[in-house]
Chain A
Amino acid sequence: KAGVTQTPRYLIKTRGQQVTLSCSPISGHRSVSWYQQTPGQGLQFLFEYFSETQRNKGNFPGRFSGRQFSNSRSEMNVSTLELGDSALYLCASSHTGSRGYEQYFGPGTRLTVT
């Protein structure tokens, strides 16, 4: 069974630009979450999607947005990039709405903002 895939794996952008990251969950998983990992703030929850609906949202500014498609694939978008947005962005998928299933993480997209 294929794991969670994320594209691109590496990205370099300039301040003020916007970026879109993509995530394909494990087949059959309908919940997709996004996390930001930085050395200073650690792993922080961005949002969770299920059946194209955002169910949970973390404490990030509105520049961070996401969406999920009918095939459960998800994208996250960051507009007006800032230097502090440089991070590893991890996507995770899980079974549908069932209590306690762990999330499976993708390899991440490393974003560098210059």
Chain B
Amino acid sequence: ELKVEQNPLFLSMQEGKNYTIYCNYSTTSDRLYWYRQDPGKSLESLFVLLSNGAVKQEGRLMASLDTKARLSTLHITAAVHDLSATYFCAVDGGVSGTYKYIFGTGTRLKVLA
């Protein structure tokens, strides 16, 4: 059974600092997604990672995927207050083009001004 672990669960950081969120998963998969959720809101897609070594960047966020280590990272560079949210990784456990996202526990990020 596919399991996804995410750490840390909570992250409080100062503006301008860098940090990394980690997402480990238990079985082979090459489809990993990162989402953002603001309080009381739905999930917003951030990154789609579909192959070993994939790296995607958008603004101050960069995501990477290492399928051999079963690890994805979400790196935050020079954090700003607007990045405060909960971040989820999801691994697709569906086969043959079907969908079955297994989500990590989420990382609640708070950026302090």
Across-interface contacts of A103 in B (CB, < 8 A): 33, 45, 99, 101
Contact A35 B101 (CB under 8 A): yes
Across-interface contacts of B99 in A (CB, < 8 A): 31, 33, 48, 55-56, 92, 94, 103
Interface size on A, residues (CB 8 A): 27
A106 within 8 A of B: yes
Docked pose: A104 CA to B101 CA in angstroms = 12
Please tell me the size bucket of the interface on B.
20 to 34
B4 to chain A, nearest CB (A): 10
Across-interface contacts of B94 in A (CB, < 8 A): 48, 55-56
A81 to chain B, nearest CB (A): 23
Across-interface contacts of B104 in A (CB, < 8 A): 42
Binding site for A on B (CB under 8 A): 31, 33, 35, 41-45, 48, 50, 88, 90, 94, 96-106
